[in-house]
Chain A
Amino acid sequence: MKTQARLIASPSVRHRINVGVRTGLAAFGGYGLALLGAAAFAAGLPFDFRPDAVSLAIMLAFVLQLVAIIWVFAAATVTRAVLGLAVPAALFGLWLLLLRQ
């Protein structure tokens, strides 16, 4: 069938690798960033009542995950997709590190 023939063709294989990488990034990177962001927000947001920070951190985490997933697929290249996750992740990590000290 035509579809199958197209899939075997080499541009399609490249495409599949591309999509596979992005899917993995979206699933694990997106969730990881959400977890990391939630940790930083929950500890670092300036609230007197800490549970408020926790609630807000959870809400922001889901938004963060959404944006991360969209970004991973929207970025023109995989390199940019990775950077788009790595930079905020590093920032959140740094923030957490500072909070711990």
Chain B
Amino acid sequence: MTTFDQPRPLRQSMSWLHTWSGLLLGWLLFAIFVTGTLSYFRNEITFWMQPELHRAQAVPPEQIAFVRALALLEREAPGAQQWTLTLPNPRNPTLGLGWQAAMGGERQAAPGAARERPGRSEARGERGASAPDSAAERRPFPADASRERPGRGEARGEDGARRESPWRGSGEGGAFAPDSAERRSFPADAARERPGRGEARGAGNASAPQETRPQGSGAGAQAQRQGRGGGGGGGGRGARIVLDPVSGDRLEGRATAGGNFLYRFHFELYGMDRIWGRWIVGIATVFMFVALVSGVIVHRRIFKDFFTFRSGKGKRSWLDAHNASSVLSLPFHLIITFSGLVLFGHMMIPTAVQSAYQGDNEAYYGAMRAPMASAVSQASGERAPLITGLAALIAEAENTWGDGKRVGSVVITHPGDRNAVIELRQMNFPGLTGGRNIPSLRFSGVTGEPLGASAPREQSIVQAVGSVLNLLHRGFFATPAPRWLLFLSGVGGALMIASGLVMWTIARARKTSEAARTHWGHRLVEVLNIAAIAGLMAAIAIHFWANRLIPAGLSARADWEIHAFFIAWAVMLVHAALRRSKAAWVEQLACAGVLFALLPLLNAASGGLALPGSIARGTGLLVGFDLCALVSGAGLLFAAYKVHRHVPRVRLASSPSRGEEPDPDPGPETEPGMPLPETMEKAA
């Protein structure tokens, strides 16, 4: 094994590794980064996609029409085990009602129900984890509703098994991001398991302090009735009833794929078994991890180069852009990649549980649940009217907490029973390592007397690390500033990947006159670059346009929003393959730019609250969406303009000879003065 085994210099090897681990799945990684970054604002996106809700105005608790809301719950969900009222918050100004049915959920339980139990408790935790986020979290994703058919038992079961996340043990409950929605879609299991399954029941209740049952049981059923699950996300018309908080009038938002489509796409893709999707994303994440670390190793002068930007110098400029976008948010890239892997941990590294528990998964989940177990009030069976003065209780709780802390949600267990309990949960997330410890106060639902506060749970150091990773990945923060920081870092990551991909072609470009004879591999990369970068942007814009152009009453319209996205993306791919690359870049970037820039107008024209109105009313999330659309549109148009104006420098002589060096990519640090090819330039 010696003839082929010549020692190679470290940096050359790392450069090769960086180039190819980055390129091979780079297009997928770009899509994951973009959709994942948008997911930080998926509540806002979903809200924007339901113009019917735009005029709701967040009001303080004393102005909320609780009496009407409770009457509505009594009518819609009598005998439910639990009702949840999500109060208006900065990320959703509506009042959300949800409930968990008592026994015999109407929904069809998927096979593998038994295995769902751990998932359920997780769902609960997650919801608890962040009140502001909870609104979207608890709505079933449309795809779930339609995918979960008995025929898919296998996948489902497996899902159930994989669903367990390390975070769960960490008291972090819901940390397994990916699952939030689907966990929720199994309420019926909960109901079914109950009879004759005391054990399961206990487990289900394990996290008593914050017990919220997966909602949307009735909801799920309702969702099914609406065709495709009522459109998840804000769309969760199925999962929840949405009220105008002041009038108590029911708001009928259109069914929409919402921000949840982008969210779910970023970790399980679409149109395939979700286990497959997750494995593909998981493997791509490993590539990302390797590309990041090998990139750092290659990059000797990492800090010096960070302050260097040489514009208009072809590959050099691309390299500088790549370096700057990478280094600027390197900690973010590392954390987001690693935490993404850990979120897939139980799926990708099954040997950990197998080895620690000799293959007995149940023992593992039992052990994880144990510390969370605590008593849950049982229904007495005696009827007693529920008090309706929620506003007074909320005022009391907010006084008790002080410090400007607000109630985020009201959870009523056993409504109408003498043992009814009203639990008020804090809106703001308690802190980075607080795990699932959302402070809450409990009151008797009949007399209103206080029953005490939730007991804070201790976290071990491992659990705390898990919590931090999870929080950072998912952006569970009370205030918008850190979420914006994560969002911008995500944009930086997308630019890093895009510039890296473009650099690959630029580094290999032949003389322009030889363009016709470009190597097929280079042409393939170029076409994929155009479709994956510019084309994806256009497809996302089309997704938003479809949201407004598809009639609100059309059945399966949420599906069509998604189809529009993929059809647009496919068209972009064909377009990129047919056009010369420069023209394709310009056209697709311009197309995406125009579509994004016009979104605020479309919003105003199709029933949404227009930008001046949303500014005047202080509906920050709509202002944010419209402004982001404008900025993205402007940025894309600027990029299109730069590419259009770019005149390729004619290359000097022929391509530099690199002797026998097998690696055509000299790595980020080429010899200065080397003639660099330049076919196109696009503002990143």
Footprint of B on A, CB under 8 Å?
A: 1-4, 6, 9, 11-15, 17-19, 21, 34-36, 38-43, 47, 49-59, 61-62, 65-66, 69-70, 73-74, 76-79, 96
Residues of B near A34 (CB, < 8 A) are 349
Residues of A within 8 A of B368 (CB): 51
Alpha-carbon gap, A4 to B357, bound state (A): 53
CB nearest neighbor in B for A18: B4
The smallest C-beta distance from B554 to any residue of chain A, in angstroms, reads: 44
Q: How far is the CA of A34 from the CA of B371 in the complex (A)?
A: 29
The reply on B356 being an interface residue by CB < 8 A is: yes
A2 touches B356 (CB 8 A): no
Contacts of A40 in B (CB 8 A): 355
- Once bound together, how far apart are the Cα atoms of A15 and B519, in whole Å? 20
Contact of B7 among A12, A51, A58, A76 (CB under 8 A): A76
Evaluate contact between A54 and B465: CB separation under 8 angstroms. Answer: no
Contacts A57-B356, A58-B166, A62-B341 given; indicate if A51 touches B4 (C-beta within 8 A). Answer: no
Rounded to whole Å, the gap between the CB of B519 and the closest CB of chain A is 6
Q: Which 4 A-B pairs have the closest CB atoms?
A: A39-B355, A55-B166, A51-B169, A58-B345
Q: Cβ of B169 and Cβ of A62 under 8 Å apart?
A: no
Which residues of B205-264 are within 8 A (CB) of A? none
Interface of B is mostly: helix
Interfacial residues, chain B to chain A (CB-CB below 8 A): 1, 3-8, 10, 13-14, 16-17, 166-167, 169-170, 286, 289-290, 293-294, 297, 338, 341-342, 345-346, 349-357, 364, 367-368, 371, 460, 462-463, 465-466, 517, 519, 655, 660, 662, 664
CA distance A69 to B14 in the complex (A): 11
**A57, B352: Cβ atoms under 8 Å?**
yes
Contact (Cβ within 8 A) B519 A55: no
Q: With A15-B4, A55-B170, A66-B290 as known contacts, state yes or no: A49 contacts B460, CB within 8 Å.
A: yes
Report how many A-B pairs have Cβ atoms within 8 Å. Answer: 141
A38 in contact with B349 (CB, 8 Å): yes
Does the CB pair A3–B664 fall under 8 Å? yes
Closest residue to B353 on the A side, CB-wise?
A: A54
B1, A70: Cβ atoms closer than 8 Å = no
Is A55's CB under 8 angstroms from B660's CB? no
Q: Is the CB of B356 within 8 A of A53?
A: yes
Query: If the complex has contacts A42-B351, A74-B13, are A14 and B4 also in contact, measured as CB distance less than 8 A?
Result: yes
Across-interface contacts of B354 in A (CB, < 8 A): 39
Given A11-B662, A52-B462, A54-B166, A59 contacting B13 (CB threshold 8 A) = no
Partner of B519, one of A1, A39, A41, A62: A1
Give the residue name and chain of the A residue nearest to B3 (CB): A14
Contact across chains for A58 and B349 when beta carbons are under 8 A apart? yes
Docked-complex contact B293 and A70, CB < 8 angstroms:
yes
| Given A38-B352, A61-B352, A70-B14, 14 further pairs, Cβ under 8 A | A3-B519, A18-B5, A21-B4, A35-B350, A41-B352, A49-B371, A52-B463, A55-B167, A58-B166, A61-B351, A69-B17, A73-B16, A73-B17, A78-B1
Q: Is the CB of A51 within 8 A of B349?
A: no
A16 vs B9: C-alpha distance when bound (angstroms): 16
Cβ of A52 and Cβ of B342 under 8 Å apart? no
Contacts of B664 on A, CB cut-off 8 Å? 3
| Whole-angstrom CA separation of A59 from B165 in the bound complex | 12
